[in-house]
Amino acid sequence: MLNDVTFGQFYPTQSFVHRLDPRIKLLALIAFIVLLFVANNFYSLLAVALVIFVAIAAARVPFGRVLRSVKGILVILIFTAVLNLFFHGGEHVICEWWIIKITREGIIFTVFFILRLFFLVMASSVLTLTTTPVSLTDGIESLLKPLKYIKFPVHELALIMSIALRFIPTLIDETNRIISAQKARGADFESGNIFKRIKAIVPILIPLLISAFRRADELGDAMDARCYSSSKNRTKYKKLKFGWRDLVAFLTFAALIAGVVLLNIYCADIFPQFYEYIKLS
């Protein structure tokens, strides 16, 4: 049931993206998200899309595995897309009925919205598929290190995020086991109306919450038994170092930022009428 959830699951293989410094991958993801919303025409959005496909190919991760990550937000994606399509304002009305109005600007806005969320989820999935939770924790802690001077608990925040990512696959497996056990006892999760299906989820949620609290308690005891402390004198077995791959990735994203900005500027000058149709307010 939840096998399609890939967020938080590491895909072990040897690739260019896997060997990148986690700090570079985090900064690249932030830059990618910014570029997604900076891109205001189809040409710049196509350039951003090309980068994510190249990153997937360089990561040597099966494309279907990355694509399955979108299934987790498919319902939200469709719901918000329908709302934007029917209720987004615009001058060029194509169809109108009661309070529902479909405009040319609404269609273009909906297409942009779907593509942006689609590429955003895919990029986030590539990050977690190519970075272990420990490396991700080290990268976040290193990037937020300047906040330590204002007494911000950087290490604790990075640790919380790492544990959350680490337990996503564990809780998914636990949920699948609970569902299988309930089905063996005659539970039905697929028939009936929506209210019956929601009611059928209760026998899954209660054991899952109990299991999650039990695992959290065991993890806390294990950390106490090993005398875990977030003191300033903590050392690391592996230290993060920048290499030539990180330089290549940095220059690539710098070129991408420049390319998207240029496409936003020159596409407006070369195709003024078409640009008026596709630009977003």
Structural domain boundaries enclosing 145: 1-153+240-281
Q: Is position 179 within any domain?
A: yes
pLDDT at 4 over 60: no
Q: Is position 161 within any domain?
A: no
The predicted pLDDT at position 5 comes to 55
Q: Is position 159 within any domain?
A: no
The predicted pLDDT at position 73 comes to 75
Q: Is position 234 within any domain?
A: no
Based on the domain organization, do 106 and 23 belong to the same domain?
yes
Based on the domain organization, do 44 and 89 belong to the same domain?
yes
How much of the chain exceeds pLDDT 90, in percent? 0
**Chain centroid to CA 155: how far?**
22
What is the mean predicted confidence (pLDDT) over 263-273?
A: 58
Answer for the pair 124, 95: CB distance below 8 angstroms, yes or no.
no
Residue in 48, 59, 70, 69 with CA at minimum distance from that of residue 15: 59
Based on the domain organization, do 197 and 139 belong to the same domain?
no
pTM for the full predicted model? 0.73
How many folded domains does the chain comprise?
A: 2
Q: What is the pLDDT of residues 90-99, one digit of tens each?
A: 666 677 676 6
Final residue belonging to a domain, choices 229, 250, 266: 229
Based on the domain organization, do 265 and 186 belong to the same domain?
no
Q: Is position 235 within any domain?
A: no
Which tokens in the block code for residue 127? 């990050």
CA distance between the termini of the chain: 39
**Chain centroid to CA 237: how far?**
28
Provide the strand spans (E) within the chain: 93-97, 100-103
Based on the domain organization, do 137 and 225 belong to the same domain?
no
Q: What is the pLDDT of residues 12-63, one digit of tens each?
A: 888 888 888 888 888 888 888 888 888 777 778 888 888 888 888 888 888 8
Backbone angles phi, psi at 204, to 5 degrees: -90, -40
The predicted pLDDT at position 188 comes to 73
Q: What is the pLDDT of residues 118-145, one digit of tens each?
A: 888 888 888 888 888 778 888 888 888 8
The predicted pLDDT at position 10 comes to 78
pLDDT at 88 over 70: no
Q: Is position 202 within any domain?
A: yes
